[in-house]
Amino acid sequence: MKYKNIFFDLYGTLIDIKTDDYRPEIFYHIVNYLSYEGIRIEKEFFQPRFEENIKHQLAISVEKYPDVDIKKAFFETILSFGYNVCDYILDTIMKIYRSLSLVEFKVFDDVHKVLSSLKKDFNLGLISDAQTLFLYKEIGILSLDSYFSNITHSSVLGFRKPDERIFKIALDKHNAKANESIYIGDSIKRDIGSKKAG
């Protein structure tokens, strides 16, 4: 059987990334931004409340491998202080949060060369444990967006790899058969779900 489709993991496979998501300075900057929008929250209370909301999402999930919705966690955190915010403010917070948490962020050597060559003969897709806004912004920043005809990511599904459903959903979105597809990732523990999916 000739392979027709290649699915890639994103972070750690195509993108070399390291983050520090819980540095207090990140949350201080977010609270400073919010004050410009008329939302006044004491800095020392914001991060602990945010972390509580992340833990709560994981605790109430029925999934074996749950994923969180960080945008929702920020919304619920701000709401708990008595403020309702629009998508524009939430998206801005997400950008501040992500940009300040990045320690390292670049494509691995020869990624563009390899993807450009593969795209000539295969349909390429992405399967990633990722937040929607982060993923789409970051593949755009690194000029990876043009290679992939379909993207499947965890935060909108509520579960993450190695749950085999994420791989099956990717196959369905791609109109692809498992026996005509290859998955390439960097973690046996997370990526074993692709084998279970066929």
The model's pLDDT over 55-84, given as tens digits with 9 standing for 90+, comes to 999 999 999 999 999 999 999 999 999 999
**Confidence bin at 109 (pLDDT 50/70/90):** very high
CA distances from 192 to 16, 158, 165, 184, 187 (A): 21, 19, 12, 11, 8
Instruction: Examine the pLDDT at 198 and tell me if it is beyond 50.
Output: no
Give me 69's structure tokens.
């919705």
User: Is the domain of 173 the same as that of 191?
Assistant: yes
User: Is the domain of 60 the same as that of 14?
Assistant: no
Contact 20, 101 (CB under 8 A): yes
Total domain count for the chain?
2
Give me 81's structure tokens.
């202080």
Boundary of a domain, candidates 88, 103, 118: 103
| Per-residue model confidence as pLDDT tens digits over 144-167 | 999 999 999 998 999 988 888 999
Cα 145 from Cα 139, distance rounded (Å): 5
User: Is the domain of 45 the same as that of 129?
Assistant: no
Handedness of CA 183, 186, 191, 195 (dihedral sign): positive
As a whole number, mean pLDDT of residues 92-106 equals 98
Predicted confidence at residue 1, as pLDDT, reads: 58
Residue ranges making up the domain that contains 137: 5-18+104-196
Task: Tell if the pTM clears 0.75, that is, is over it.
Answer: yes
Phi, psi angle pair for 26, to nearest 5°? -60, -45
